[in-house]
Each structure stands twice: as C-alpha cells, then as structure tokens.
Amino acid sequence: MEHNTDHISCQDGQTGCGRPEYPEIRKEIQEYVYGRIVPEYARFDLAHRQDHALAVIDNSMELYRTAPEELRNDVNPEMLFVAAACHDLGRINGKENHHIDSGRIIRADKELGRWFNDAQVESIARAAEDHRASLDHEPRSIYGKMVAEADRLIDADTIIRRTLLYGMSRYPEMSSDRQIERALEHLYSKYGPDGYLRLWIPWSSNATRLRELRTLLADHDAARAAVSAALSEILEKV
C-alpha cells in the first residue's frame, strides 16, 4: 500500500512525523485521529510523543494488511486504527495505570459514536487496556493482540533510545551513569530471555527482531556500549 506523506507538526525538534493515509479508513476518521488524538501525545514523556503514536498506527495497519485472509475478514480496520491511535492516551495521568485510563478516555469520547456503535467502542477501549506488555493476561480480542504487537516496536536502536528518553523524562535528576544502569535494568527485565514481554501475532516480524535484541543483550559489554553510545547521541542533540 502506498501512503501519502502529509505531515503534522513534531515536538522538541523531532522530524519525520509522517501522516500516512490509509484507503481502508474513512477520511473523516483519519482527520479526527490526526487532528485531535495524535496531538495529545505532545504532552507525554519523550518516549511517547507523536512519532510513537504514528508508528503504532502504522505497525497496526501493516499487521492488518499482512494478516491471513480469513482473519483479516473478521477485523474492522477502522476500529484497529482508532485503538492504535488511542492506546496511550491514559499517559496524561502517568504511566502506572495508563492502559486503564486509556480505556476510560475512549469510552468517554462521544465523537467516536459518529462512526462506531457502543459495542465497537467497548472493543476499542478493551484493546487499549490490553496493550501493556507487563499485563499478566492475554489480550481479550484480536484488536488487543494487534495493538499490543504493534506497540512492541522491536528494533534494538529504537528500544534503547526510547528507554533512555523515558528515563531522562521521568528521572531528570539521575546522572548519565545512573541513566545507563536504569536503561540496562529495564532492557533485561523486559526483553531478556526471562523478560516479561510476550508476543501475540505469529505473522509479525517481532519474533525475529526479539531474537536479535536478545543476542545483543547476551553480550553484557556490547549491550552497555550500545546504551552508552545512544545516550551520548541523545545528549549531543539536547
């Protein structure tokens, strides 16, 4: 699928915040998401800004396009699109319960009633509630599984950078050495061989990328060097 690359404004010097258009999604829904929902991410921590929302949207739509036909026929792409866009809105109240708060925000959004019935809005809200990697249960629907998988964004460089950015936003008082230690602790607890992250979509490329990341983490010196280099790059841009 070819995307048009209109752009919305980026925050804090970010570039490349593309605004792809999807033929499966009604124009008015896309306008609402790009005009009202995605800009909300400008208020969140550095690891969860507009570029993150757009990446999860695009990953979700890619999972939809590449799904087996019999499953794709059971998925409403507009519900998936909105669920992906709204998945982190609860971060306005902080990280701890952001998935639950995202569901509440979705249920309270009367604008969604223009395009979806009550049952569909509830499915969208549950998908947001189920996206969090640290949950102890399987997502309750294919929408939750696809949004959760799309949110994984498994790319070693991206994950390391976002982990550092979150730490710098949440704990600005930490020294550079402590930021590196915090990032490594998070990487091993989430992505290590005994980490809590789970994958849900068999046709996703995340499994291969997770194996590649775990290969890096298996070499502790290489992992520390990668995190240190990423921090230096971030600090050079500040």
Q: What is the topology classification, in CATH, of domain 6-152?
A: Hypothetical protein af1432 (1.10.3210)
Asked if 128 and 64 touch (Cβ cutoff 8 Å), the reply is no
Q: What percent of the chain has pLDDT over 90?
A: 84
Which SS3 state, helix, strand or coil, does residue 174 take?
Answer: coil
pLDDT of 18 reads: 60
Q: What is the pLDDT of residues 106-121, one digit of tens each?
A: 999 999 999 999 999 9
What CA–CA distance (Å, rounded) separates 174 from 145? Answer: 35
CA 176 → CA 13, 48, 90, 160, 184, distances in Å? Answer: 22, 21, 29, 14, 12
Enumerate residue ranges in the chain where pLDDT < 70: 1-18
How does pLDDT run across 53-74, given as a tens digit for each residue?
999 999 999 999 999 999 999 9
Where in the chain are the domains?
A: 6-152, 156-237
At residue 169, the pLDDT reads 93
pLDDT at site 228: 98
Query: Is there a contact between 95 and 46 (Cβ–Cβ < 8 Å)?
Result: no
Whether 230 and 176 have beta carbons less than 8 Å apart is answered as no
- pLDDT at residue number 133: 84
- How far apart CA 225 and CA 238 sit, in angstroms, is 20
